[in-house]
Each structure stands twice: as C-alpha cells, then as structure tokens.
Amino acid sequence: MDSCQRGCTPAVRLCQRMNRLKTLDDDMMTTSLKRCLSTLDLTLLGLGGMVGSGLYVLTGTVAKDTVGPAVVLSFIFAGFASLLAAFCYAEFGARIPKTGSAYMFTYVSVGEVWAFLIGWNVILENMIGGAAVARAWSGYLDAIFNHAIQNFTESHIMRWDVPFLAQYPDMLAAGILLVASLFISFGVQVSSYLNHIFSTISMCVIVIILVFGFMLAEPANWSQKEGGFAPFGWSGIMAGSATCFYAFVGFDVIASSSEEAKNPQKAVPIATAISLGLAATAYILVSTVLTLMVPWHTLDPNSALADAFFRRGYSWAGVIVAVGSICAMNTVLLCNLFSLPRIVYAMAEDGLFFQIFARVNPITKVPVNAIVVFGFLMATMALIFDLEALVQFLSIGTLLAYTFVAASVIVLRFQPEKKHSKETSSTSPNPNAEPSPAPSECQNISEDSEDLKQYESFSDKLQLVDKQQTRERRAVGQLKACWEPYLGRLLGNCEPGEVVALSVLGLLVTSVSFSGVLVFGLMQLQLPSWSYITLLVIFSLAYVLCMAVIWVHEPQTNTKTFQVPLVPLTPGVSILINVFLMMKLSALTWIRFTVWIAAGLLVYFGYGIWHSKEGRRELHPKDLAARYVVLPSGSLVETVESVQPEQADATATCMNPAMTTEEFAGRR
C-alpha cells in the first residue's frame, strides 16, 4: 500500500502544479502599463472590434444564402447570445482589472494549464484574425483599382500554386500590418486616437447608409412575392444566428484593456454594454435597410451595400461605402494588434511564456517586444498564406474562451474570497527585529483577527476558524441554511465551493452531451427517434440538476463591482450556447484545433510549468506564523501560514510540536 502511494505521489503533485491558481496582489490597480483609457476610449475600442468588414460583407452573405430578410432576427438572437458572454467578461474585467482577458480569468478561478491553453488559443485567434482582415483590406482596396495590384504582383514579382499558400505574395496586407504595429508600439494613447478617428468615420458612414437606405426602402421586398420574410424558416434563422454570432466577437478587447483603464470597475461594464448595444443596433438596422432596398435573392454577397445603392441609382454611395469599409477594417486591425501583445505580455509576466515578452518599454509603457515579434509573424502569415481555409478556426478558439470564462464566473462567485495579508514594516530585512512573540500571543493574534481567510494548500482546502461560529447567513460556497434540513446530510460536509466546482464540471459535460446528441444524433449517429428523444431528455434533466445544485449554495454578494445577473442561469445558458456552436463546426476544424492544442502542451510542459511564478512562490515559501485550521477530518489543530518575507532575521512562528516547518512545506 505504501509503495502504491509513493508511486502515485509524482502524478498527484503534477496535477496539483497544473491546476494551481494565480495569486492576485492586494492592490490590483498597480501596473507597469499606463492607466489612461477612459470609458469613451474603451467603448470605441469595443465598437471598433465588432463593427468591421462584417457589416459590409456578412449581412449580404447571410441574407442571400442562409436566412433572407429574417437576418434581422438572426442578428437579434446572436446579439443576445453575445450579451451573455459579454456579461461574464464585464464582471471579470471590473473585478480583476488585469490584462490577459480570458487567460487571466481562467487562471484565477480554474487552473494554470487551462489558462495557458485558453491564452494559447486566443493568441492564434488574434494572429489569424488580424492576418485575414489585412488580406480582406488589401483585396477590397485592390478591387477598387480593378485588381491592378494583384496583376502587377503576379506579372512582375512572383506567383505560386502551392496548397495552403496564396496565389501571390500579398505585400499590401503585410505592409499595413507592419505600419499598424509601428503605431501600436508608440503607446496606448496613439492607438486610442487612431481608433477614435477610424471609428468616427465608420459610424458616420453607417448613419449615411441608414438615412439614404430608409429613404429607398420598399416594404414589398419582404412580401410573399419575393419569398416572404423568412423563406428558410426557423432552421435558417438559427443557422444564420450561428454565423452572425461571430460578428460580435470583438468586445473582449475591452477586458484586455482593463489594466490600462483609469477606472476599470465602472468603465469596463459600461463600455461593454454600450459598445455591444451600438454594434447590435448597427447590424440590425443595416440588415433591415439592405433587404428593404433590393430583393434579398438578388444581393451581391461580395459587395451587397455598394451594389444595392448602385442598382437604385446612387452609384456615388459606393465610394462612401468603400471608405467606411476600409475604416472599419482598420479598427479591427488595430484591435487585434492591441489585444494580442497584451495577452502575450500577461502570460510572460506569469512565467508561462518566454520572459522576453514581459518587458515593458519605460517610455511608451507598452510591451514593445511582443508587439514587434507578433506583428511581424502576423504580417508573414498575411504575406504568404491563403487564410480562407483557416478562418473557421477562429470560431473554436473564441467559443472555447467564452465557455471557460462563463464557467469561471460561476466558480468564482461561489468560492470563498481569499484576502491577502497586508505587508508590515518587516517587509525589508531588519537586523534589529523584535523577538518572536510567544505561542500564546500568536494564538491571540490569530483569534482576534477580523479577516481570517481560507488558505488553500496543494492537497487540502483548509477553512480557518473564526471566533464567531454562529452567523445568520452561511459562508460563501456553503449550502444555504434553508436547504440544510433537506440536503445537509448529502452536501453539508463538503468544503466551501467544492460542490459548485463539481457541478460546473457536470454542467460542461451535460452541455457537450446534449449538444452532441442534438447535432449528430439523427444524421451521423442515426439514432432511432425514441432513443434520440430519451437522450435529450436525460441530458436536459442532468443539466437542470447541475444548475439547481449550484443555486442552493451561498454566492458572494458583498462585491462593489459589476456582477453578472441571474447566476448561475446567465453563464450556464452561455456555456450551452457556446458548446452547441462548437459542435456545429467542421471535423477539419477540430483536427486543426487538436494539433494546435498539442503544440501548446509542448510549450507549457517544456517551458511554462518550470518557469511559472506561482511555482516559484511555492518552492520558496515565506516565513511562517500560526493559525488555527479545521482539517477535513474535523479536528482542530494549529498549523502555519506565510506572513513575513524569508529575508527577515526574526521569524514569528508558533509551531505545533507535531508539525515542523519542513513537514508543512513538504505538504505544500
């Protein structure tokens, strides 16, 4: 038996290292970056990330091929689904005003390896997204000049016919990315000013489109004569919603910028709500105008708006649409180049990625190394690769990030808040330090402390004992008092937050199972109707049961920042929608995703796990002082807790004779 335990120890310690959580500083407003962004700046960043070329291309494509005039409903449903995810990002961005977005949120609440994989996918998502937008920008500009740029490049430079590579090197796309990277490296204020200019022009163009579009609107284009409002039925509306959902994926740039916001607690939620509302309004109104101007089945998918105005005799409007489209694509480029280096910086700052990317320029206060390197990589991708086959890969990384952020909201809402000890004057080494207090004195200090906290070790979650045991309201993460008589025997003895964490895992499993049966049950799996319906009912009930188990526990209610309403319902529904949309992706996308995940695991196990700052903090524990704790067995004993730096000559320790400092460090 002992040999079995010794053999399992390395695997257990590896799992503990992979799932360790990030420790946040007491003062989360302290940063190496420059806090200068206002609510308006964040709002325009989010708006620029969402209202891009999709407004000029996606609306016509979805209306003609998938939905018809009911594309209006598709954008409404997609906007609602995005709002659920945006709520989760807004809560984290206000509560944890640190750069890194979904990576940081996952690291704080779920675990290290999961956070790394989320960050790894977001990096690829931004790289492919930025390169794809740059190529679209280049192609749009080239089309205005009757493809003169493409013809010159193929005739005088080179042309190749290689799979996965473009027909010709797109130097214009690579050039715009390098120029944009240069401007981004000048500092966050320069980036914000540029985004203000392009976003303002883009919004003015949208207003012009709407004014003249409603003047030219013909309600007969929604009549049965032209196929009706919803010619493809509800199935077409839902399929269109899945496509339109990706028009709103740019709002996470607001959370990525929270470390550079002046007042992130207020600015992040307000900017997220306003930018998402404006973007949804723009998409809904433009799609309404477009399908009222001309019959939906006659739309040109490549340039629907410009072609619609041209056919109605307003050919000059095509120039305005082209200007608006280029400005909108510029804002998306800026948002991609703005977010990507900051996520890389956050991972490098935590030791999970190469340390060179954690350096911040002392003058511009931005991670210049990350901007230059990844801007160059993005430009290289835009130069040589045919990105059309890879664009769908963007979806799975975004949806995975949304899913983990929603799960993190639930976990953190029902997790006891860990308060960090304030550093005393003994932070710096002092040879004249006062002698250590007696054990009884340490004991009294511990009992009289008002902010006793939960302390998590590797193997056990230890609940510190409060002097006052009786409270009207149960502790966060514990079973609600009203449910104690019914569920106390089953769930009452679990650690705070433990049942909720397991229920969130069950929520993910049931969402995957339900969506898998719903998407693949009849066609690919060819299940009989009775079996198909039975499985859907079983997984639906299991999903509802997991939600109910979470709901009967006490949530945190004392936070002063924005909170997602209706938890766990809001993030739970967001998880289900995101998983369903992931199941709709092609098998080739999943294969590419698996390969990228495998590459990320190589980087993590080859570098990240060995250089993690959380790992170094565990290997070099600080000096120790006594606390009373309740062990899982229920016994009351003394243990130790870090309160002073290890450089101090005098250490205030009140040790249990049955446990030495070395033994405690070994347990950790």
Contact, 340 vs 123, CB < 8 A? Answer: yes
Write down the pLDDT at residue 493. 81
pLDDT tens digit sequence for 495-518:
888 899 999 999 999 999 999 999
- Decide which of 642 and 27 is more confident: 27
Query: Helix crossing, 102-109 with 71-95: angle to 10°?
Result: 60
How far apart are the C-alpha atoms of 156 and 328, rounded to whole Å?
A: 31
- Decide which of 314 and 6 is more confident: 314
How many Cβ atoms sit within 10 Å of the Cβ of residue 233?
13
The model's confidence at residue 426, banded by pLDDT at 50, 70 and 90, is: very low
Torsion of CA 299, 305, 310, 316, to 10 degrees: -170
pLDDT tens digit sequence for 185-214:
999 999 999 999 999 999 999 999 999 999
DSSP states of 52-105 as a string? STHHHHHHHHHIIIIIGGGHHHHHHHHHHHHHHHHHHHHHHHHHS--TTTHHHH
The model's confidence at residue 473, banded by pLDDT at 50, 70 and 90, is: low
Write down the pLDDT at residue 387. 66
How far apart are the C-alpha atoms of 324 and 605, rounded to whole Å?
A: 46
How far apart are the C-alpha atoms of 250 and 268, rounded to whole Å?
A: 14
Q: Mean pLDDT in the chain?
A: 81
Cα-trace Rg, the chain: 28
Runs of H (alpha helix) within 350-392: 368-384
Write down the pLDDT at residue 658. 43
- Decide which of 15 and 57 is more confident: 15
3-state secondary structure 581-625: HHHCCCHHHHHHHHHHHHHHHHHHHHHHHHHCHHHHHHHCCCEEE
Contact, 64 vs 301, CB < 8 A? Answer: yes
How many Cβ atoms sit within 10 Å of the Cβ of residue 469?
6
pLDDT tens digit sequence for 142-197:
877 777 878 888 777 777 777 667 778 888 899 999 999 999 999 999 999 999 99
Write down the pLDDT at residue 154. 78
Evaluate if residue 457 carries a pLDDT over 80.
no
Evaluate if residue 292 carries a pLDDT over 90.
yes
Evaluate if residue 441 carries a pLDDT over 90.
no
**SS3 assignment, position 118:** helix
DSSP states of 277-339 as a string? HHHHHHHHHHHHHHHHHS-GGG--SSSHHHHHHHHTT-TTHHHHHHHHHHHHHHHHHHHHHHH
Return the amino acid letter for 26: D
The model's confidence at residue 388, banded by pLDDT at 50, 70 and 90, is: low
Write down the pLDDT at residue 568. 93
How far apart are the C-alpha atoms of 267 and 272, rounded to whole Å?
A: 8
Percent of the chain with pLDDT over 90: 43
